[in-house]
Amino acid sequence: MANFALEVTRLGFSVLQAVSPELAGRAAFRLFCRTPSPRPKGARAKAAHAAGAARLAGAERFTLKLAGGAKAHAYRLNGGARGKRKRFLVTHGWGSSAEYMAELVSMLAATGAEVVALDFPGHGRAGGRFLHIGLAVETILAAEARFGAFDAAIGHSFGGAALMVSASGLLSGAAALNVEQLALIGAPSEMRWLFTGFGRMVGLHPAAQAALENEVHRVTGRRLDDFDAGGAAGSLGHPVLVIHAEDDKEVSPDHARRYAAAGEGVRLLWANGFGHRRIVSAGPVLEAIAMFLDGSRPEEDISDESITKDAEIIPIFELPARRAAL
List pLDDT tens digits, range 124-160: 999 999 999 999 999 999 999 999 999 999 999 999 9
Nearby residues of 84 by Cβ (< 8 Å), 6 or more positions away: none
User: Does 316 score more than 90 pLDDT?
Assistant: no
User: Residue 303 has what pLDDT?
Assistant: 87
Quick: pLDDT tens for 250-295. Answer: 999 999 999 999 988 999 999 999 999 999 999 999 999 999 999 9
- Domains belonging to the chain, first-starting first, are 1-33+191-222 (no CATH), 43-190+227-315 (3.40.50.1820)
Quick: pLDDT tens for 173-221. Answer: 899 999 999 999 999 999 999 999 999 999 999 999 999 999 999 999 9
Beta strands 240-244 and 266-270: pairing type? Answer: parallel
User: Residue 305 has what pLDDT?
Assistant: 59
pTM, whole model, 2 decimals?
A: 0.92
pLDDT band at 32 (very low <50, low <70, confident <90, very high): very high
Nearby residues of 281 by Cβ (< 8 Å), 6 or more positions away: 103, 104
Alpha helices (H) in the chain, listed in sequence order: 3-19, 21-33, 43-55, 102-109, 133-147, 158-168, 192-202, 206-220, 229-232, 253-260, 283-293
